[in-house]
Amino acid sequence: MSENITVNNQPFDEAELSMLNVLAGHIIPEDSERNLPSGSSVAFLDSLIENAPHTLSQLKDELIRIEQSTNGSFVNLPRSEQVQALTNLRIEQPDLLNRFAIHIYSCYYQDPRVLAHLGMEARAPFPKGYTDKILRGDLSLLDPVRNRGPIWRPAE
């Protein structure tokens, strides 16, 4: 693995990039029943480099750790063995990949396919807003409160 050789100005080499992709798919797996994509299919890399540069060196260390635990063959293992390797590592280090996971969550829940599944459009809230989403509400529910009468305490 050639260290820090950039692909399109990225601080990750190709092996690291393919590991990140596989890991993103473990963090949020595809769900075919719900027709939801996996974490690896959403755009996460550019914003990781741009918005979370302070997390990169820790992430690189974590990749090394994962590689070492699988004798340098993590991406080539069958999926079930990858899951097992990650589970074992997280028993020793429960916060392993948590910062990366936060980033994946944050990108995933902006993806238009995911938002559509949640009944939302991938757009700015303003100017259209969400005027049809909230019931005005049934004010007759307040009858018991009204019937009880005033509860405030006079002070004068």
Partner 1 sequence: MPDDVVDVLIIGAGASGAAVAWSLAETKMRIVCMEQGDWMDPAQYPSNHADWEVRRSDMHPSPNHRSRTADYPVNDDNSPIAILNYNAVGGSTILYSAHFPRFHPSDFAVRSLDGVADDWPISYHDLEPFFAMNDHNIGVSGLAGDTALPPHDPPLKHLPLGLMGEKMGKGFNQLGWHWWPSDTAIITEPWNGRGECLNLGPCNAGCAQGAKSSADIAYWPDAQRAGVELRTNCRIREITVDSNDMATGVIYYDADGNEQHQRAEVVIVACNGVGTPRLLLNSKSSAFPDGLANRSGLVGKNLMLHPWGAVEGTFDEPLASHFGPQGSCLLSQEFYETDESRGFVRGYNMQITRGNPPISTAIGGLTSGRIPWGKDHHNLFEKYFDRSVYLGICAEDLPEEHNEVVLDDEQKDSNGIPAPKINYTLSENSRRMLEHGLNSGVQAFEAAGAIEINKAPYPLRYAGWHLLGTARMGNDPERSVVNEWGRSHDVKNMFIVDGSVFVTSGGVNPTTTIQAVALYIADSIKRNLANLFD
Residues making contact with partner 1 (CB under 8 A): 26-29, 31, 34, 36, 51, 83, 97-98, 101-102, 104-106, 108-110, 114-115, 118, 120, 122-131, 133-139, 141-142, 144-146, 148-156
Output the six-digit token pair for 97. 């990949």
Beta bridge partners of 31: 36
Cβ at position 133, least distance to partner 1 in Å: 4
**Cβ proximity to partner 1, 2 vs 146, nearer residue:** 146
Residue 148's contacts (CB-CB under 8 Å, 6 or more residues apart) are none
CA atoms in the 13 A half-sphere facing the CB of 89: 20
Cβ at position 5, least distance to partner 1 in Å: 29
**Cβ proximity to partner 1, 3 vs 33, nearer residue:** 33
**Cβ proximity to partner 1, 54 vs 153, nearer residue:** 153
Cβ at position 9, least distance to partner 1 in Å: 22
The Cα 126–Cα 134 span in angstroms is: 17
Residue 111 DSSP symbol:
S
**Cβ proximity to partner 1, 3 vs 150, nearer residue:** 150
Rg of the chain (C-alpha set): 24
